[in-house]
Chains A and B, each alone.
Chain A
């Protein structure tokens, strides 16, 4: 994932990956914006959806709609079977040991809140510490702040260098007998940094500290194997992985999930209820109160099938090429500065232009059909670290093209012209 040219990459990778054919799977990519072809570079915010995903939602409501885990009737059985099949798909996708370790939630944010609430109630007390990094999304900061506030625990932050790389010496120094959990981004949404999570998990485990990885920005770009990473929790959002909004996954090591108290109470998560006592359902249902997003989950299954069928080495080579090309293109425009220059990064390009506010960059790019995110990217502490209020961010997916990078670069030149 380095942005320097990699001589070891097989030349055939590019040939294996037919981006034009891939693009035909994503209907919205043919849209026009302000009379120009859409150049969708806001993939870190949410990804576009392939037709198979869109069709799966429609198909479910049209032919299968029923509640899951309830009726004995045919529709309910079919809906349950499909819903549970997605759990098996996700378990295979992440290489979890068992589908009991796969909890469906609304998104990565809810998954982190689930762990903060449930693991926090079980394992965190006054004087304890939770460790996060300086590059976390607000969703991997605020749930821990709430927990720490409630318990009298302390949130500690691992600093990073100017390139946007975690300082590993500092990290190891911050792992203390008081640390109850490490929660960190696998990939940073604002900087694109791929953290050395394997090494960081090893270090935490040497002290018996469990690790949660926020994989929301990682799964669209990397293949993830939770057993190889040896992480204790892994969270992701369907909508950043070419699936629908409102669906996410918490992977948790079975031993931990078993010991943790329920998150929300309600239907589905119980075995029996009386007014005196409730016994809870087994994993994974213990953590799934209420009717879930059935249609969304089934459509998410299609997204997983879709990405699993992609030629991944070629996908990653293509994304590397896009990042490399965009980085070079930006470098040719005077007065631009890239925020986040880690040696290991994915296709996220946060940047500034001298004397031009990111908000104005975003408005002008939009007039040329180019969709980028501007602002603090729900990572205000990252902005504070660099002493800036905001950045413009172009983030790529495998369906983006080198031609789109040229449109982007030309539009950036227009930004310069407007502001003289």
Chain B
């Protein structure tokens, strides 16, 4: 079952079991809902901005292991990044889970998000991986209040 191991990497299982930044952020500048009506994954994401930097990202809610781990990893990765850098990371993450990443074969430098490369082998799960990222991307670049991946 090499495929399953590729999907459910240690990092993903760990972040699913112990999601980081899994809390309400009382002084958030942006609060956005991420909902996949197909499977019922539902998260609320909180973003605190400091000028053009993302000072903090937290989240609450429930969903599958892929969506939860993805939100958790994202929260750790985006914290402290400039919005411009965050946009670049969103782009790389999208390419990665869709199997469209054209960068170096060695994904080491991508850090924890490299764990999501295996998702590309499971087309029905790509939406799970993207859900929270899509929501936060919308939140920092516009005034979207609810984001679905439909």
Hey, which bits of chain A sit against chain B, CB under 8 A? 34, 355-360, 363-364, 367, 374-376, 383, 389-390, 414, 418-420
Interface pairs (7), CB distance under 8 Å: A359-B125, A359-B128, A360-B64, A367-B1, A375-B39, A389-B42, A390-B40
Does A357 contact B63, Cβ atoms closer than 8 Å? yes
Give the residues in chain A near B128, CB-CB below 8 Å. Answer: 359
A206–B3 Cα distance when bound, in Å, is 59
Say yes or no: B38 contacts A34, CB within 8 Å. Answer: no
User: How distant is the Cα of A374 from the Cα of B63 in the complex, in angstroms?
Assistant: 12
If A363-B122, A375-B40 touch, does A419 touch B62 (CB 8 Å cutoff)?
A: no
Pairs of residues from A and B, 3 with the lowest C-beta to C-beta distance, nearest first:
A389-B40, A359-B64, A357-B64
Residues 1-52 (chain B) with a chain A CB within 8 angstroms: 1, 3-4, 7-8, 13, 16-17, 38-42
* A376 x B40 contact (CB < 8 A): yes
Contact indicator A420/B65 (Cβ below 8 Å): no
Is B4 within 8 A of A367, CB to CB? yes
Residues of B participating in the A interface, judged by any CB pair closer than 8 Å = 1, 3-4, 7-8, 13, 16-17, 38-42, 62-66, 68, 122, 124-125, 128
Whole-angstrom CA separation of A414 from B1 in the bound complex: 10
User: Which A residue's beta carbon lies closest to that of B4?
Assistant: A367
Q: Find the B residue at minimum CB distance from A367.
A: B4
Residue pair B8, A359 in contact (C-beta under 8 Å): no
**Structural contact, B40 and A419, CB atoms closer than 8 A:** no
Out of B1, B62, B65, which one reaches A356, CB within 8 Å? B65
Residue contact A389 to B62, C-beta cutoff 8 Å = yes
In the complex, which of the residues B8, B41, B66, B122 contacts A389, with contact meaning CB atoms closer than 8 Å?
A: B41
Q: How far is the CA of A364 from the CA of B5 in the complex (A)?
A: 10
| CA–CA, A356 and B13, complex, Å | 11
- Mostly helix, strand, loop or mixed at chain A's interface? mixed
A374 pairs with B125, CB closer than 8 A: no
A320 smallest CB distance to B (angstroms): 31
Contact of B65 among A367, A376, A414, A419 (CB under 8 A): A419
Q: Closest residue to A364 on the B side, CB-wise?
A: B4
A360→B4 CA distance, assembly (Å): 10
**Cβ of B70 to closest chain A Cβ, rounded Å:** 13
Quick one: which of A358, A363, A376, A383 contacts B125, CB cutoff 8 A? Answer: A363
Q: A383's contact among B40, B63, B66, by CB below 8 Å, is which?
A: B40
Query: Given the complex, which residues of B lie within 8 Å of A358, measured CB to CB?
Result: 39, 64
Nearest CB of A to B14, in Å:
10
**B65: which A residues are within 8 A, CB to CB?**
356-357, 360, 419
Interfacial chain A residues near B63, Cβ < 8 Å: 357, 359, 389
Residues B39 and A418 in contact, CB atoms below 8 Å apart: no
Considering only CB atoms, which chain B residue lies closest to A357 in the complex?
B64
Give the one of A34, A357, A390, A418 with max B CB within 10 A.
A357
Cα–Cα distance between A17 and B148 once the two chains are bound (Å): 48
**Bound Cα distance A375, B63 (Å):** 11
Please indicate the chain B residues that have their CB under 8 angstroms from the CB of A418 in the complex: 4, 8, 13
Tell whether, in the assembled complex, residue A360 and residue B40 are in contact, meaning their CB atoms are under 8 Å apart.
no
Residue B124 contacts which of A34, A363, A364, A376 (CB distance < 8 angstroms)? A363
Residues of B within 8 A of A390 (CB): 39-40
Report the bound CA distance from A389 to B68 in whole Å: 14
With A359-B39, A383-B40, A389-B42 as given contacts, are A419 and B3 in contact (CB-CB < 8 Å)? no
Known: A357-B62, A359-B41. 4 other contacts (CB 8 A): A359-B128, A364-B4, A390-B39, A418-B13
> How near does chain A come to B118, taking the closest CB pair, in angstroms?
11
A389 contact set on B, CB distance < 8 A: 39-42, 62-63
Flag if A363 contacts B42 (CB, 8 Å). no
What residues on B are CB-neighbors of A414 within 8 Å? 1
Q: How far is the CA of A361 from the CA of B114 in the complex (A)?
A: 23
